[in-house]
Amino acid sequence: MLWSLIPHLTLAAAQVVIPSPVEHTGDADACQGYVLKVTQSDCGLDGELTLKGKCGAFGPDYEKLKLTVRHDNDDRLRVHIADAEGKAHVVPDDVVQDGWPKLEGQGQRESNLQFDYTEDPFTFKVTRKSDGEVIFDTSGQALIFEEQYVRVKSALAEGSNIQGAAQSSDNFTLPITEEGYVRTLWNRDAYGVPGRTNLYGSHPIIVNQKVGENPSASGVFLLNSNGMDIKFPEQGKYIEYNTLGGIADFFFLNGPTPADVSRQAAAIWKPSPMVPYWSLGFHSCRYGYEDIFEVAEVIANYSAAGIPLQTQWMDIDYMYERWIMTLDPPRFALDKVQYVIDHLHNNSMQFIVMVDPATFSGMPSLSAENYEAFQSGLQQKAFLAYDDGNIYQGVVWPGPTVFPDWTAEGTQGWWDSEFMRFFNTENGVNVDGIWLDMNEAANFLPHIEANIYRISKEREAPPVRKLPRTIPRTIEDFPRFEAGKNISEPWGEGQPQSGPEQVLGGQGGSMMEKRQNDNSSGNYPESDADFMSAGLDSQWLYPPYRINDRRAPPSTGGGADLGIKNISDFTARTDIVQGNGVRMYSEHNLYGSRHSIATRNSLLKRRPNHRPFTVARASYSGTPSAVWMGDNIATWEQYISTIPQMLSLTAVSGIGVVGADSCGFGGNTTETLCARWAWLGAFNTFYRNHNEISAISQEFYRWPITAEAARNAGKVRLQLLDYLYTAVHQHSVDGTPTVWPVSWVHPQEAESVKIETQFYFGPSILVAPVVHENSTSVDVWFAPGETFYDYFTLAATQGEGWKKLNDVGYETMPVYIRGGSVVPLRKGDAMTTEQNMQLPFELIVTPGKDGKATGALYADDGETLDSECSDIHFEFDGSKLCIKGSYNHPVHLSSVVFAGQDKGRDSKVYGPKVHGQGCETQFDEAKKTVTVKVDLKLDCDLTIELC
């Protein structure tokens, strides 16, 4: 059947408010669970579960289940419970690298985890053998397994500190003792990242950390992509998984340290792939650039202010009427955009644009007949569609839109071809990375029966833009933008132009003229009534169990935009069957990850052997993208709440590169807030300043205090960039976190788990931002018994718990190197990452209480997938620094600074090419440092000895 673009709805006479569907009143607590019949196997346990008595809590029960228990390896136990007929949804392999682990395993004797069970009723317990700690225990809690509801409930031991269940803006250690606390996993467009709600990503993994005298940690990952509530009944005495169906596929992770759990979890879905070196530099963006001249001016202003800018971004402003894969010709002509991109590339900088999934589909005042991306998608059957072939439509930034079906056979080819066309490296928009927004999928329809044309009109989607302006001034760095000329004027014969006919087809010019002269948001049908849809009692729109989705509370009264609140509100319809035969109901939470995977594939096809860089908003466990944490607000509360958000997504959820929009996306920032955030952002693994069209511009150079803070923070970030790059590489190898919660570094201290506003950047750098407005002091917790060295002065502080630091000006932030570390720094000044890569290294050695220190450095070309590399490890024993590793990429060592030294020392270097060579050594009595000037290329193992 040929696809058609007919709204799959019947027009009603008026806006509608429909009564709620039948309420489901089943008593889940009265359910009796299942009885187990066991068949032991060599590598685990197999069994058949039979329903003990009718439950019907939220629909019909599965009467027969299949239990499979496997010891995947020494530290991972899998408990897999599925319906016997295999009808319940299973998370598919295509959403992670190399698929999910197979149901294979080793014998229980070799495992560090013990599985025990009762048969009638079936319950189970997972215990760590070494210390007897109970990791999961369902004793006394009936298993409920229905088509649209699965419940598994476990007791939590005293002293449990639960972390994860991301994405949330709650504390890193979740407030599970709070009455009624629940973590809902259902990806949504969550402007303002409010607390106690579901946000953009869903990561059904938790870490349970015990701190104090006998610290430990374990992990639980539930491989289920359905919407779910994770509850903590009786003020945290239990953890209760309530899912909208699917299966109960649990992975139990032994730890016994939190970082071990991170690595064990990453082995399930494979760690985040390595990113380009440049992507760790500073990024700038704004939603609301008037034209390409304004973009050029931002680039030039950063340069003039001496603030290192690595990558310039563009939001939807560059698009024709906000249509993906187009340019807005008068304001963002192709040749002018290419001129700016060439400037960036010629100055060792990069360029990124946004590509949402939603694709304009046409409306009465603006046809999509000549819109190539849409028409080619139609031909490839690349969009979500109803069973009868009609395409599903929603409303996003362009107005009426369709949504790619990432599982359909032709979608990847369509996406590839659009990338090859629009982002052509020779004659297109030659980007270096892609920004993936609105991919939850976000939808402006407040309820499924809403009229797409009415909502488009009310949302001014798309808005009418001001006429192209006269260029107000000349920019020295961009002389072709001549003051006094209109931005839409061509640059002369022979120059490539990008009129609407090029990006849309032959009628583009007439369409644009009409939109500009209408001074309205479009001509709509006379009736703005909402549509009435058949099947409003559909179980796939209104599941009997209602998760605590912030965007879908039950209706409470009349109104044009109420209707029945359901899980499809403000997103794509969940009753639609995708190309893979699975309803969006079960794979809504996978949509963003599939967007990331498809885009990564297209970027690899466009530039083979170059590491793709994508930054996404929506995510699920195993996403290949970096993640930014969404549309935050410019407040002091949200500034500091970005720390636990980042820690949860990185340390627990296993995403290597994560960051917040520095200075806040929504609302007006202030000079001092932006200054503090410039520093905090510099210690996010992803560093970007971005805000919205209705807020004041907030580039770092706009205020003197902020500019000074950004210059200083940018310099420190570039100094530490290879240290960060090494941490990101290690994460890509085995899942080791790139940022660390304080409690993960100091688990033996009970106080550490309370600390939410400090963190470790990589394994060694303690970051302690000022947290209050108008304050120049901060209380910093230094772990007792450890030594910390001020990053800027290398002055030592002995850890004794809390210490107040005063006179912390806006030009700085408390940063400390943990004792026992060897930290590689770039020595010298740079404005770009390429310049940074040309600088020599200086090693900072900060001995611990035992006088020892360790560290690492990974270096490669920063760009290609198969680059040769140097992987170097440093170990200091109090007198000798041993340098060992592989040396296939140039690394130049300028000097080594030994902190915590009470006297001057001579030095010698030993290696295959040097035999006891003396080096110039300087002692700084005030700083208590010994600096050894080495000036050697690291191409072999060396030992530097202090004499």
- CB-based contacts of 809: which residues, under 8 Å, 6+ apart? 776
Percent of the chain whose predicted confidence (pLDDT) is above 90? 87
User: Would you say 236 and 177 are in contact if contact means Cβ atoms under 8 Å apart?
Assistant: yes
Kindly tell me if the per-residue pLDDT of 548 is higher than 70: yes
Q: What is the pLDDT of residue 382?
A: 99
- Note whether residue 345 is domain-resident: no
SS (H, E, C) 189-232: CCCCCCCCCCCCEEEEEEEEEECCCCCEEEEEEECCCCCEEEEC
Same domain, 10 and 133: no
Mean pLDDT of 765-777: 98
d(CA 220, CA 113): 13
Same domain, 871 and 777: yes
d(CA 173, CA 170): 8
Same domain, 65 and 185: yes
Tally of domains in the chain: 3
Mean pLDDT of 598-604: 99
* 888 sits in which H/E element: none
Tokens at residue 401, please? 């839109």
Mean pLDDT of 761-779: 98
d(CA 903, CA 901): 6
Residue 390 sits at φ, ψ, to 5 deg, of -70, 140
d(CA 196, CA 705): 34
Which pLDDT band holds residue 24 (cuts at 50, 70, 90)? low
- Note whether residue 209 is domain-resident: yes
User: Between residues 495 and 585, which one has the greater pLDDT?
Assistant: 585
d(CA 193, CA 338): 35
Of the residues 616, 649, 670, which one is the last residue of a structural domain?
A: 616
- Note whether residue 637 is domain-resident: no
Rg (CA), the chain: 29
Which tens digit of pLDDT belongs to each residue from 80-124? 999 999 999 999 999 999 999 999 877 667 899 999 999 999 999
Q: Which amino acid is at 708?
A: E
Q: Where residue 887 sits, what CATH number does that domain have?
A: 2.60.40.1180
Full residue range of the structural domain in which residue 377 is found? 1-19+357-436+438-463+521-616
User: Would you say 300 and 285 are in contact if contact means Cβ atoms under 8 Å apart?
Assistant: no
Q: What is the pLDDT of residue 448?
A: 83
Percent of the chain whose predicted confidence (pLDDT) is above 70? 91
Strand 182-185 with 228-231, pairing: antiparallel
Kindly tell me if the per-residue pLDDT of 1 is higher than 80: no
- Note whether residue 508 is domain-resident: no
Q: Where residue 424 sits, what CATH number does that domain have?
A: 3.20.20.80
Tokens at residue 661, please? 């929009």
Kindly tell me if the per-residue pLDDT of 78 is higher than 60: yes
> Which active-site residues does the annotation give?
437, 440, 631
**Omega within 30 of 0 (cis) for the link into 121:** yes
Same domain, 197 and 126: yes
> Which runs of E-coded beta strand occur in 235-332?
238-243, 248-253, 282-284, 311-314
User: Between residues 810 and 562, which one has the greater pLDDT?
Assistant: 810
Kindly tell me if the per-residue pLDDT of 531 is higher than 90: no
710 Rama class: left (phi>0) / alpha (psi -120 to 50) / beta = alpha
- CB-based contacts of 230: which residues, under 8 Å, 6+ apart? 165, 182, 183, 184, 185, 204, 206, 239, 240, 241, 242
Nearest to 749 by CA among 778, 788, 780, 785: 785
The three-state secondary structure class of 238 is: strand
d(CA 754, CA 709): 29
Which tens digit of pLDDT belongs to each residue from 614-642? 999 999 999 999 999 999 999 999 999 99
Of the residues 616, 643, 659, which one is the last residue of a structural domain?
A: 616
Same domain, 9 and 82: no
Same domain, 816 and 926: yes
Same domain, 3 and 74: no
Kindly tell me if the per-residue pLDDT of 49 is higher than 60: yes
* 472 sits in which H/E element: none
CA distances from 174 to 214, 217, 600 (A): 21, 15, 33
d(CA 510, CA 517): 11
Nearest to 218 by CA among 176, 174, 181, 262: 262
**Omega within 30 of 0 (cis) for the link into 463:** no
The three-state secondary structure class of 233 is: helix
Nearest to 284 by CA among 704, 829, 674: 674
d(CA 242, CA 214): 32
- Note whether residue 161 is domain-resident: yes
Same domain, 591 and 544: yes
780 beta partners: 803
Residues written for the chain: 947
Which pLDDT band holds residue 20 (cuts at 50, 70, 90)? very low
d(CA 168, CA 652): 12
Kindly tell me if the per-residue pLDDT of 530 is higher than 90: no
Q: What is the pLDDT of residue 495?
A: 46
Which tens digit of pLDDT belongs to each residue from 433-483? 999 999 999 999 988 888 999 999 999 999 999 999 999 999 999 999 999
Which tens digit of pLDDT belongs to each residue from 664-712? 999 999 999 999 999 999 999 999 999 999 999 999 999 999 999 999 9
Q: What is the pLDDT of residue 565?
A: 64
Which tens digit of pLDDT belongs to each residue from 643-674? 999 999 999 999 999 999 999 999 999 999 99
Mean pLDDT of 485-494: 83
Same domain, 773 and 851: yes
Dihedral, 88, 93, 94, 97 alpha carbons, nearest 10: 150
- Helix, strand, coil shares of the chain, percent, nearest 5, are 20, 30, 50
Residue identified by tokens 């971005």 is 690
- Note whether residue 404 is domain-resident: yes
- CB-based contacts of 494: which residues, under 8 Å, 6+ apart? none
Mean pLDDT of 374-386: 98
User: Would you say 250 and 136 are in contact if contact means Cβ atoms under 8 Å apart?
Assistant: yes
Nearest to 125 by CA among 44, 35, 116, 38: 116
Q: Edge-to-edge, what's the strand order for the sheet holding 311-314?
A: 658-659, 626-628, 614-616, 433-436, 350-354, 311-314, 282-284, 687-689, 661-662
Of the residues 569, 584, 616, which one is the last residue of a structural domain?
A: 616
Q: State the DSSP string of 736-796.
A: --SEEEHHHH-TT-GGGGG--S-EEETTTEEE----STT---EEEEE-TT-EEEETTT--E
Q: What is the pLDDT of residue 512?
A: 33
User: Would you say 149 and 57 are in contact if contact means Cβ atoms under 8 Å apart?
Assistant: yes
d(CA 359, CA 70): 44
User: Between residues 522 and 245, which one has the greater pLDDT?
Assistant: 245
Q: Where residue 129 sits, what CATH number does that domain have?
A: 2.60.40.1760
User: Would you say 880 and 946 are in contact if contact means Cβ atoms under 8 Å apart?
Assistant: yes
Which tens digit of pLDDT belongs to each residue from 807-858? 999 999 999 999 999 999 999 999 999 999 999 999 999 999 999 999 999 9
Same domain, 47 and 165: yes
Same domain, 150 and 256: yes
Predicted TM-score (pTM) of this structure: 0.94
- Note whether residue 703 is domain-resident: no
d(CA 511, CA 504): 10
String of b and e for 371-384 (b: at least 16 CB within 10 Å)? bbbbebbbebbbbb
d(CA 230, CA 548): 10
Tokens at residue 867, please? 């680059």
Q: Is 46 exposed, middle or buried (0-12, 13-18, 19+ CB in 10 A)?
A: middle
- Note whether residue 895 is domain-resident: yes
Which tens digit of pLDDT belongs to each residue from 497-522? 444 444 543 333 333 333 333 333 33
Q: State the DSSP string of 324-344.
A: TT---TTTS-HHHHHHHHHHH
Same domain, 58 and 199: yes
Nearest to 691 by CA among 683, 700, 682: 700
* 350 sits in which H/E element: strand 350-354
Q: How many CA atoms lie within 13 A of 370 on its CB side?
A: 15
d(CA 449, CA 564): 9
CA distances from 645 to 550, 648, 739 (A): 18, 5, 11
Residue 642 sits at φ, ψ, to 5 deg, of -65, -20
Residue identified by tokens 């720390």 is 643
Kindly tell me if the per-residue pLDDT of 186 is higher than 80: yes
Q: What is the pLDDT of residue 557?
A: 38
d(CA 943, CA 916): 9
d(CA 486, CA 839): 43
User: Between residues 509 and 213, which one has the greater pLDDT?
Assistant: 213
Mean pLDDT of 563-572: 80
CA distances from 16 to 533, 535, 559 (A): 11, 15, 8
